[in-house]
């Protein structure tokens, strides 16, 4: 039986980020990953580091998100030094475009509400008219239906596959034990220790972190926790490469470091189906062309569907089991945005028991009512 101080179940960006933070503290950590070829949330991600709109009705989540994106420049450099891989992180600010005045007014109401909910009455996101927006995007002509947008200077984007590769390379350099293709079948707790059985072998650890996306629900029950999560499919289109035209990412379209445009992403309640549909792809392409008509010249070369992992309110859950202390759950659909805090504050909470301020907001008990 392989043993370690902390065992992280889940080899996606969230699990790898937590393991990275734990390893940097000099703690013996093991990472288990079920593997597989299906596009996961980490591999099928759109690649945004995003602030605006997150935290409506939960100011602590808005603060948590802002803290994380402000930590991204240092985190990306630290990761590059420890892995030798650049994640192509850029933070030029980002837009959420509004097609028509009605969309613009709805968006403004959300921004105003988040400003009112904030602790100090400030929310660094502004509404822009079409003219101001066009001046910030000089290389692409906006479509006729674009009325304006919300804009935050804190928003950015990166290459999610490079991020996952960098995390894995850094973990390897730290000498952590990584076991891919190990699907966890059961977790048990006795004598203040955990025993984990996979399809291939057994492991033991003083603490465990459940960060395995949709696999969390069943494993959490084995250590006394109910975690309500569900899948939601998002489809993404990718164009051929072209010259640099768009510096800032939009919530539904961005140009990658290599020159392709990524177009996304749908929100479909289809259970575990990771397929693609012509109808949704047509809708995604149609909205992209309403934003930037000139993109009709580009060929589509790829498409895929991947599953988000969502809680009932689409916000994170961070919790330690009361009946099996030392068992933690970490889940969020914002794994890329929150990676610096998952590797930083969250890993300290797991290793040393240092609970971040306002953490009670992320307890699953909020769903009991």
Q: pTM here?
A: 0.95
pLDDT digits (tens, 9 = 90+) for 259-298: 999 999 899 999 999 999 999 999 999 999 999 999 999 9
- Using one digit for the tens of pLDDT, what is the confidence trace for 183-225? 999 999 999 999 999 989 999 999 999 999 999 999 999 999 9
Structural domains of the chain in order of their starting residue, each with its CATH number = 2-83+160-229+313-367 (3.50.50.60), 94-152 (no CATH), 230-310 (3.30.9.10)
What's the confidence (pLDDT) of residue 121?
A: 77
**What number is the average pLDDT over the span 328-355?**
95
What confidence score (pLDDT) does residue 78 get? 97
Backbone angles phi, psi at 262, to 5 degrees: -100, 130
Q: What is the mean pLDDT of residues 250-266?
A: 96
Q: Is a pLDDT exceeding 60 seen at residue 37?
A: no
pLDDT beyond 80 at 40 = no
Q: Find out whether 271 and 307 touch, Cβ atoms under 8 Å.
A: no
Could you tell me if 160 and 168 are in contact, meaning their C-beta atoms sit under 8 angstroms apart? no
Nearest to 6 by CA among 193, 203, 171, 207: 207
Contact predicate 68/339, CB 8 Å? yes
> What are 50's two structure tokens?
């995003």
pLDDT exceeds cutoff 60 at 38: no
pLDDT attached to residue 186: 96
3-state SS string over the chain? CEEEEEEEECCCHHHHHHHHHHHHCCCCEEEECCCCCCCCCCCCCCCEECCCCCCCCCHHHHHHHHHHHHHHHHHHHHHHHHHCCCCCCECCCEEEEEECHHHHHHHHHHHHHHHHHCCCCCCCCEEEEHHHHHHHCCCCCCCCCEEEEEEECCCEECCHHHHHHHHHHHHHHCCCEEECCCCEEEEEEECCEEEEEECCCEEEEEEEEECCHHHHHHHHHHCCCCCCCEEEEEEEEEECCCCCCCCCCECCEEECCCCCEEECCCCECCCCCCCCCHHHHHHHHHHHHHHCHHHHHCCEEEEEEEEEEECCCCCCEEEECCCCCCEEEEECCCCCCCHHHHHCHHHHHHHHCCCCCCHHHHCHHHHCC
- Which of 77-90 are b and which e, b meaning 16 or more Cβ less than 10 Å from the residue's Cβ? ebbeebbebbbbbb
- Tell me the C-alpha distance between 21 and 19, whole Å: 5
Answer whether residue 354 shows pLDDT above 90.
no
Q: What's the rounded mean pLDDT across residues 129-147?
A: 97
Nearest to 23 by CA among 176, 168, 165: 176
Is residue 35 scored above 90 in pLDDT?
no
Share of the chain above pLDDT 70, in %: 99
> Would the pLDDT of 357 be above 90?
no
Average pLDDT, the chain: 94
Q: pLDDT tier at 369 (50, 70, 90 boundaries)?
A: low
- pLDDT classification of 36: cutoffs 50, 70, 90: low
């Amino acid at each position: 039986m392989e043993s370690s101080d902390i065992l992280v179940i889940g080899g996606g960006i969230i699990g790898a980020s937590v393991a990275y933070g734990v390893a940097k503290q000099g703690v013996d950590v093991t990472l288990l990953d079920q593997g597989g070829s299906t596009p996961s949330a980490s591999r099928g991600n759109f690649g945004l580091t995003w602030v605006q709109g997150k935290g409506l009705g939960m100011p602590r989540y808005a603060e948590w998100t802002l803290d994380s994106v402000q930590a991204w420049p240092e985190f990306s450099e630290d990761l590059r030094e420890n892995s030798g891989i650049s994640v192509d992180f850029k933070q030029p600010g980002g837009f959420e475009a509004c097609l028509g005045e009605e969309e613009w007014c709805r968006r403004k109401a959300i921004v105003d509400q988040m400003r009112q909910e904030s602790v100090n009455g400030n929310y660094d996101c502004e509404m822009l008219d079409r003219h101001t927006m066009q001046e910030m995007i000089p290389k692409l002509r906006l479509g006729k239906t674009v009325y304006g947008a919300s804009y935050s200077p804190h928003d950015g984007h990166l290459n999610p596959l490079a991020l996952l590769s960098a995390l894995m390379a850094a973990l390897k350099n730290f000498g952590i034990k990584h076991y891919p293709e190990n699907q966890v079948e059961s977790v048990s707790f006795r004598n203040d220790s955990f025993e984990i059985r996979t399809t291939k072998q057994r492991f033991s650890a003083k603490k465990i972190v459940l960060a395995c996306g949709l696999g969390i629900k069943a494993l959490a029950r084995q250590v006394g926790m109910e975690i309500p999560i569900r899948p939601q499919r998002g489809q993404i289109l990718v164009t051929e490469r072209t010259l640099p035209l768009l510096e800032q990412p939009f919530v539904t379209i961005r140009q990658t470091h290599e020159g392709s445009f990524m177009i996304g992403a749908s929100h479909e309640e289809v259970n575990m189906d990771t397929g693609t549909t012509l109808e949704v792809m047509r809708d995604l392409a149609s909205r992209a062309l309403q934003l930037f008509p000139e993109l009709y010249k580009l060929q589509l070369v790829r498409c895929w569907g991947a599953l988000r992992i969502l809680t009932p309110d689409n916000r994170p859950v961070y919790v330690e089991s009361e009946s099996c202390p030392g068992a933690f759950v970490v889940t969020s659909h914002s794994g890329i945005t929150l990676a610096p805090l998952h590797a930083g504050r969250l890993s300290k909470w797991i290793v040393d028991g240092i609970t971040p301020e306002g953490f009670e907001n992320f307890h699953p008990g909020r769903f009991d009512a």
